[in-house]
Amino acid sequence: MTDSGNHAENSGNSENSVLTPFNMVAGMILIVGIVVTILRFTKGLGSVTNLSDYNPWGIWIGFDLLVGVALAAGGYVTSAAVYIFGMKRYHSAVRPAVLTGFLGYALVVVALHYDVGRPWRLPYPFIIQQGTTSVLFEVGACVALYLSVLFLEYSPAALEWLGLKRARNLAVKLTLVLTIFGVVLSTLHQSSLGALFLIAPSKLHPLWYSSYIPIYFFVTSIIAGLSMVIFESTLSHRYFHDKMDATHLEENPHVTLGFGKAASLILAGYFIIKVIGLAADNNWHYLGTGYGAWYLVEMLGFVALPALMYAVGVREKNLGIIRGTAAWTVLGIVVNRFNIGLIAFNYHLPKSERYFPHWMEIAISLFVVTVGVLVFRFIVTRMPIFYEHPDYEDSH
Amino acid sequence: MTISRRRFLGWVGGAAGAGMAVGHRARAATTHEFEGYPDAMGVLFDNHRCIGCRRCEAACNRVNDLPAPDQPFDDLKVLEKQRRTDYRSFTVVNQYANGGQPEAPVFRKIQCNHCKEPACASACFVGAFTKTPSGAVTYDASVCVGCRYCMIACPFEIPAYEYDEPLTPRVRKCTMCHPRISKGQLPGCVEVCPTESLLFGKREDLIAIARQRIRNHPDRYVDHIYGEHEMGGTNWLYLSKAPFHEVGMREDLGTTPAPALTAPALGAVPIIVGLWPVLLTGIYAINRRKEKIARSEQEAAVAEAVEQTKANAADKFALAMAKAEQDKTETVEREVKKALEEAAKEQEAGDDATPQSEEDLS
């Protein structure tokens, strides 16, 4: 902090606002990301990843796709709560959640361009030849459609910013239809991301493989969405407090309490259906193994514990506990998706054949997240996300 | 680009929905049973006969125009470590210690097993894999996106990928020499095998032959034809003199064909698409109606309250008016009376003394 203070004295305030520590770190990540991008598209996946014939999917799928889509669930969860379930006092949470979701999905698609061999062929499954027997076809179709839905759901903010009144009013009229469409598509592809692994019972450890895995993925996406809305609003309050209007500031504690309560209940329900799955497949004996210990860490540390802490936070009306639990739950989603996509996958292989990401894979994942944060900042500092545009106040 | 037959069929398939693809490519959301193509060919590998000469590897490399290997095919030192298929080799031979007879190791040839209902074909979202009536599972690089889900799906860990191709990577795997068998030739590996460890023929016949060999030499073979039922059955079949798990073949794969594993999840899609909008619109409508009722109740309550207040106000007003009227009358009367009394007093003042008037005042 003192460094940047000195810097301000030396070179003036205008430059200081650009050369903040955050911007410098972000800039470095972007430069490394661009270099690795060039390597990826000139030398191939082999030179920048540790992927192999045994491990065709690494963190670009495990993190960028599986975690990215789960954490972008805040959009459908919040808009469903407000527009379908009629919880209107959370209205000010819709726009930040939809924006986070839209950017999340957009970046998932960007990240996929690195991972697949011939990214320009990504539309082939829809326009050339349809592999309708594939779960991945369903994922692809739903993600493509839902990205469009999120774009339309986000568009009123951009259109208000651009002053295009008629287009904005038209987009707002679509709200309910888009919300319902969004929930349908999210139900399908959030669950299908889990269903991708149904085809490989011999490769995914029995503690994580279950015929219920699509349901587990769908339920955890709701938990991820609720927690991510709280987590994102915690960060936004720290950095974009000045952009928020009175309504947003006044409603935020209600959003945190309400979403924390919902997350606690759904985590508890998820714990129960996980135990049911364990019992249905009679997998109790695996709990005594090394994988069993790690499974218990996930179940007790990242499911039972946050369920309890959310409940305590809501009971005590302690926003600090709820916000901390939200961050912990987001980490729990990362742990769960990593377990299924990477850690418990290929559990049968010898250690020498197991996957660990190359630093350049991590660099691209960081690059994608950084781009997301920068675009989020660009949009919320310009468009009516945390406040209502003066021309459209009380128009909803 | 012209419209090819395949692409046209793709459009038709898309228009007709999932039903078109089912049965030909893989099983999807259906209870339909696919018994396998009746005259499908296969290969029987008998590891009792295999001597680990690697000539099948060399032949495979030649007929498929694959890149040259790091070590020549006649270098048998390669057998000392376990290998798998990769982008340069559609087949490899591995050597395993034979517990019973250490002096006679067991060899295992690895290549695509050409499942009756292939996991790769079911998993591919662009339909790049085809189970042909000849029994071969073929791959079409011209549509492949390179997502590598086939490699995730394959229970035998066969498909390999050209990781060092930056822009045109392909998935690589054995095609049972589909171009050759279509012309009536033998697969490259089968043709070259000096010990007839590999036998090409109709899958049904191969199963009969394998069973006959086990019957003739029960001491020689494990009593199991690997591939007859594994993952719903494969067109490549195996006889072994050692337990299959000792030669690196998984015995825990089960007999469910891969497409059946994802069929229930895919079957739920149309139900969700049909049911969710109804449910969600219903919830929305219930909430709206609740709000409407709450609003009209509130309005009624307010109206009643206003009415009550108004009525109360009117009553009060009337009362006040009446009181004011009464007050006014009383005042007038009082004033009149007072005036009369004063007048009377004034009259008396002339006659009477002062004390009386003092008494009046007190």
* Residue B34 confidence (pLDDT) above 80: no
* Residue A7 confidence (pLDDT) above 90: no
A85 in contact with B, Cβ within 8 Å: yes
Q: Report the pLDDT value the prediction gives residue B32, as an integer from 0 to 100.
A: 62
Q: Report the pLDDT value the prediction gives residue A395, as an integer from 0 to 100.
A: 56
B125 in contact with A, Cβ within 8 Å: yes
Which pLDDT tens digit goes with each residue over B64-88?
999 999 999 999 889 988 999 999 9
Decide if A117 and B148 are in contact by the 8 Å CB cutoff: yes
Distance from CA of A167 to the nearest CA of B (A): 25
Which pLDDT tens digit goes with each residue over B109-165?
999 999 999 999 999 999 999 999 999 999 999 999 999 999 999 999 999 999 999
| Partners of residue A191 in chain B, C-beta under 8 Å | 265, 268
Decide if B265 and A85 are in contact by the 8 Å CB cutoff: no
Average pLDDT, integer, range A129-147: 94
Judged by DSSP in three states, B107 sits in strand
* Residue B265 confidence (pLDDT) above 50: yes
φ, ψ for residue B14 (rounded to 5)? -65, -40
Q: Are B237 and B43 in contact (CB under 8 A)?
A: yes
Q: B169 to chain A: nearest residue by CA?
A: A117
Token pair belonging to A149: 């839905």
* Residue A91 confidence (pLDDT) above 60: yes
* Residue B9 confidence (pLDDT) above 50: no
Burial class (CB in 10 A: 0-12, 13-18, 19+), A168: buried
Window B:16-45, CB contacts with A under 8 Å: 17-18, 20-22, 25-28
Token pair belonging to B285: 């409508």
List the single range of A359-368, B8-17, B244-253, B313-322 with lowest mean pLDDT.
Answer: B8-17
Share of chain A above pLDDT 70, in %: 95
Average pLDDT of chain B, as a whole number: 88
Picking from B166, B167, B265, the nearest residue to A135 by CB comes out as B265
Average pLDDT, integer, range B230-250: 94
* Residue A268 confidence (pLDDT) above 70: yes
Q: What angle do CA A161, A165, A166 make, to 5 degrees?
A: 140
Q: Between the CA of residue A382 and those of A97, A106, A375, what are the distances in Å?
A: 17, 20, 11
φ, ψ for residue B245 (rounded to 5)? -70, -20
Longest CA span, chain B = 169
Residue with the larger pLDDT of the pair B254 and B37:
B254
Burial state string for A317-356 with b = 16 or more CB within 10 A and e = fewer than 16: eebebbbbbbbbbbebbbbbbbbbbbbbbbbeeeeeebbe
Q: Report the pLDDT value the prediction gives residue A1, as an integer from 0 to 100.
A: 37
Which pLDDT tens digit goes with each residue over A141-182?
999 999 999 999 999 999 999 989 999 999 999 999 999 999
Distance from CA of B189 to the nearest CA of A (A): 23
Q: Report the pLDDT value the prediction gives residue B103, as an integer from 0 to 100.
A: 77
Q: Are B241 and B101 in contact (CB under 8 A)?
A: no
* Residue A273 confidence (pLDDT) above 70: yes
* H-run or E-run covering B202: strand B198-202
Picking from A53, A179, A192, the nearest residue to B84 by CB comes out as A53
Decide if B13 and A130 are in contact by the 8 Å CB cutoff: yes
Q: Which contacts qualify for A272-276: CB closer than 8 Å, 24 or more apart?
A: A273/A212, A273/A215, A273/A216, A273/A219, A274/A216, A274/A299, A274/A303, A276/A212
Residue B33 banded pLDDT, cuts 50, 70, 90 = low
Distance from CA of A36 to the nearest CA of B (A): 13
Decide if B276 and A133 are in contact by the 8 Å CB cutoff: no
Which pLDDT tens digit goes with each residue over A12-50?
444 557 788 889 999 999 999 999 999 999 999 999 999
* H-run or E-run covering B200: strand B198-202
Decide if B146 and A117 are in contact by the 8 Å CB cutoff: yes
State the Cα–Cα distance between residues A233 and A378, nearest whole angstrom. 16
| Partners of residue B282 in chain A, C-beta under 8 Å | none
Token pair belonging to A54: 């045994």
Picking from A138, A176, A184, the nearest residue to B266 by CB comes out as A138
Q: Could you give the residue ranges of the DSSP H alpha helices within B227-257? A: none
Instruction: Provide the ipTM.
Output: 0.91
A247 in contact with B, Cβ within 8 Å: no
Residue among A372, A256, A234 nearest A310 (CA): A256
Residue with the larger pLDDT of the pair B283 and A2:
B283
* Residue A5 confidence (pLDDT) above 50: no
Decide if B161 and A56 are in contact by the 8 Å CB cutoff: yes
| Partners of residue A124 in chain B, C-beta under 8 Å | 126, 143, 145
* Residue A92 confidence (pLDDT) above 50: yes
* Residue A8 confidence (pLDDT) above 50: no
Of A378-392, B20-34, B302-316, give the range with the top mean pLDDT.
B302-316
Picking from B159, B169, B253, the nearest residue to A202 by CB comes out as B253
Window B:186-245, CB contacts with A under 8 Å: none
List the single range of A377-381, B112-116, B286-290, B347-351 with lowest mean pLDDT.
Answer: B347-351
Which pLDDT tens digit goes with each residue over A298-313?
999 999 999 999 999 9
Picking from B159, B168, B252, the nearest residue to A118 by CB comes out as B168
Distance from CA of A295 to the nearest CA of B (A): 22
φ, ψ for residue A207 (rounded to 5)? -65, -25
Window A:340-359, CB contacts with B under 8 Å: 348
| Partners of residue B273 in chain A, C-beta under 8 Å | 184, 188
Residues 6+ positions from B146 with CB-CB distance below 8 Å: A116, A117, A118, A121, B161, B169, B171
Residue among A287, A277, A266 nearest A212 (CA): A277
Residues in chain B: 362
* Residue A274 confidence (pLDDT) above 60: yes
Q: What angle do CA B99, B105, B109 make, to 5 degrees?
A: 115
Average pLDDT of chain A, as a whole number: 92
* Residue A288 confidence (pLDDT) above 50: yes
Q: Report the pLDDT value the prediction gives residue B98, as an integer from 0 to 100.
A: 82
> DSSP letters along B172-198, please?
E---TTHHHHHTTPPPHHHHH-TT--E
Q: Are B259 and B120 in contact (CB under 8 A)?
A: no
- The CB density around residue B253, as the number of other CB atoms within 10 Å, is 17
List the single range of A224-228, B29-33, B223-227, B333-337 with lowest mean pLDDT.
Answer: B29-33
